[in-house]
Amino acid sequence: MTESFVALPGSARTPPPSWTELPAWADEERIEISIRVPRRPGVELPSVEALGALPPGERRHLSREELTARYGADPAALAAVERHARERGITVVDACPSKRRVLLAGTLGELRKAFPADVRRVEHPSGHAYRQRCGDQHVPAALAGCVEGLFGFSSQPRARPYVTLPAEGDAGAPNDGSHLPGDLARLYDFPPDLDGRGECIGILEFGGGYRDSDLQAYFAKLGLPCPEVVAVPVGGRTNAPGVSRNLDVEVALDLQIAGAIAPGARLAAYFCEWTEKGWIDALETAIHDRDNQPSILSISWGWAELEAAGHVSWTEAAIDAVNTSLQEAALLGITILCASGDDGSAAGIAGDQAHVDFPASSPYVLSCGGTTLRATSAAMDEVTWNEGARTPAGGGATGGGVSELNPLPTWQASAGVPTSLSTGRQGRGVPDIAGNADRASGYTILVDGQELRGVGGTSAVAPLYAGLLARINQRLGRPVGYLNPLLYEKLAPAVFRDVIVGGNGCAGAGGYQAGKGWDACTGWGSIVGSRLLLALLDEAPSSAESAEGPPSHVDRSCSPPDALPRSA
C-alpha cells in the first residue's frame, strides 16, 4: 500500500534567486533532523504579558519540571514519531518531552523517504555550498497532527555575528577611545559591590571558540577572578577556537564583557550550528538546562526577517518555534537579551527597503541597539551609532525599525512606535534599549594572546546588560525574568538616559531618527544601572538625579586602560 503524505503548514521556502544550483547531494550523506511535536492535548502556553508587568517580588515563575509537566510534549505524538522512524530503520537519537523534540539520525536518502523534501545543493555568492530545502516539507498523513515543525534538511546559514572589528592597522595599536568593560559599568552607573554571584548567564554561539589561556590572562590583567566558563555542545558543535578568527572575536567579546561585569556568575556558552535547527536546538538546550540553569541569556547573533523583498528567509515554522521557546523562557524567569544588528535599517539586505533582524524583533526579548559614547572626565554624551554600511574594512550602524512578522505588543502600544517605512505595517518596534557599540568608543578584549582595541557592534551590548542583570538578580535574590512590559509600562523613561541625536539609515535604505522618548534607533536609550535596581527594589530615584543626565555621584574618569598582556 502506498503511503500518503501531506504538506507541513508553515514550512514553505523559496530558494534565494541569487544562489546557484549545483549537482544534487549524495543520498549517503548522514545528517540529523529535529521534529517538533505538539503540547499535551487541551493545553496552551499562557500569555506572559501580565507576568512581565508585575514587580519581581510578586512574580511566580515555573520550575523546569513544572513547565514540562504542564506544557510538555503530547506523549502520543512523541511515541508516534518515534515509531514511524524506527519502522523505517532511522535512529532515534533522543525523544525529549520538555523540548517537545524527537531527534533523528540517518542518511539523507532515508530521511527524505520517511519525510519527503526537495533538498537541493546550492552555492552562495560567496562560493560556499549548502543544502537548501525548497518548497513544502512533507510528513506522513498519519502524523499530520503529530508534527509542528521539522528542521535540519537545510544547512543554509541563519545566523551572523553582530561584531565590528578594528581597522586592520588598529589591532593592538593604542586607541584612546577604547574601553575595558569596567569603564562602561562606571559610566552607566551599574550598582557596585555586586558580582552576579549565584547567577548563570547563558550565551549562544554559532561558531568560533575561546581559549582558557586568553580568559585567564584577560581577567588577571583586570584584577578580577576568572569566572567559571562552561562550554555546552549542541548538536555535535563544540568550543572550536582557531577555525575562524572573526568568530573567535565574537566569542571572546561575549565572554569577556559578561564575565568582567559579573565575574561571580557562571558563564554557559552553548555552541551550535548556524541554521534554523541550530537556533531551535540551542534555545531549547539553554532554556531547559537543569545543570547550569541560566537566569539570563545573551544572544549576539541574528538574521534578517526578510532575506529579499517578498522572500521570507526564516520559515514560518521556525519563527513560531523560536518565539515559543522564548515565551517558555519568560515563564521560567529567564531574561533574554538580543543584539539588534549592525547593518542599520537595511539589516544587511541590498535595496532601499528598511528591515529588522530576528530574534531581536521577538516580543519576548530585550532588543539591544547601539550608541556612540563620548566620555571625558567632565561629561558624557551618547548619540545613535552610525558609521555607515558595514564592510570588511569596518563601519556599521545600529539595527532598528518595525517588524514585518511580529505584531505590536500591547506593552509597546503607548511608546509611539511608527509604522514600517517599507510597508506601512504596524509591528513590534526594535530596539528596546541601547549601549556603547561604536568602534571609536569600543571595547578592549584579548584573542589568541593578542590585545584588540576598538572592537564594537551591538554584539557587545547584549552581554554588557546581561552582566548588569546578573548583578541585579543577585541583589534581588530572585530573577527579574521577562522585563519588557515592566520597563515600558512602569519604569521608562526614569531608568534610562535618553539618546535623541542621529539616525540609522544605512546602505541606501531609508532609516529612522532618534528623538525624545522611545525611538526605532536606540529604544528608550541606555540604562542607568543604579536607577533600574532602585526601581526594581520599588525605591524611587533621588530627586537630585534627573532623567536627562548622569547621577552626580558616578566617577566619570575614563583614562585609557593599560595595555593587556601580549603573546610571546
pLDDT at 114: 95
Check whether residue 380 and residue 517 sit in a common domain.
yes
* Residue type at position 77: A
Query: Does the predicted model carry a pTM greater than 0.85?
Result: yes
Select from 93, 119, 151 the last residue of a domain. Answer: 151
Check whether residue 77 and residue 215 sit in a common domain.
no
pLDDT band at 311 (very low <50, low <70, confident <90, very high): low
Is the residue at 560 inside a domain?
no
Is pLDDT above 50 for 365? yes
Q: What are phi and psi of 497, to 5 degrees?
A: -105, 110
Is the residue at 61 inside a domain?
no
pLDDT band at 284 (very low <50, low <70, confident <90, very high): very high
Domain count of the chain?
Answer: 2
State which residues form the domain around 499.
160-536
Check whether residue 26 and residue 104 sit in a common domain.
yes
Q: How many CB atoms lie within 10 A of CB 243?
A: 10
Gyration radius of the chain over CA positions: 23
Give the residue-averaged pLDDT of 355-360: 94
pLDDT band at 260 (very low <50, low <70, confident <90, very high): very high
Cα dihedral sign, 420-426-428-434: positive
Check whether residue 475 and residue 531 sit in a common domain.
yes
Is the residue at 101 inside a domain?
yes
Report the percentage of the chain scoring pLDDT > 90.
Answer: 75
Check whether residue 314 and residue 209 sit in a common domain.
yes
Is pLDDT above 50 for 564? no
Q: Which helix (H) or strand (E) holds 203?
A: strand 200-205
Report the half-sphere exposure of 173 (CA within 13 A, side-chain side): 8
Select from 97, 127, 151 the last residue of a domain. Answer: 151
Check whether residue 122 and residue 90 sit in a common domain.
yes
C-alpha cell at 81: 514519531
Q: How many CB atoms lie within 10 A of CB 115?
A: 26
Check whether residue 241 and residue 135 sit in a common domain.
no
Check whether residue 279 and residue 135 sit in a common domain.
no
Burial class (CB in 10 A: 0-12, 13-18, 19+), 97: middle
Check whether residue 173 and residue 128 sit in a common domain.
no
54-101 residue pLDDT tens: 999 899 999 999 999 999 999 999 999 999 999 999 999 999 999 999
CATH number at residue 281: 3.40.50.200
| Under 8 Å between Cβ of 499 and 382 | yes
pLDDT at 561: 37
Check whether residue 349 and residue 464 sit in a common domain.
yes
Is pLDDT above 90 for 511? yes
The Cα 510–Cα 345 span in angstroms is 7
* Residue type at position 478: R
Give the residue-averaged pLDDT of 507-513: 88
Give the residue-averaged pLDDT of 30-52: 94
pLDDT at 312: 58
pLDDT band at 10 (very low <50, low <70, confident <90, very high): very high
Is the residue at 549 inside a domain?
no
Catalytic residues: 250, 254, 459
Check whether residue 302 and residue 384 sit in a common domain.
yes
Select from 109, 134, 151 the last residue of a domain. Answer: 151
Check whether residue 215 and residue 142 sit in a common domain.
no
The Cα 82–Cα 509 span in angstroms is 48
**Coil, strand, or helix at residue 540?**
coil
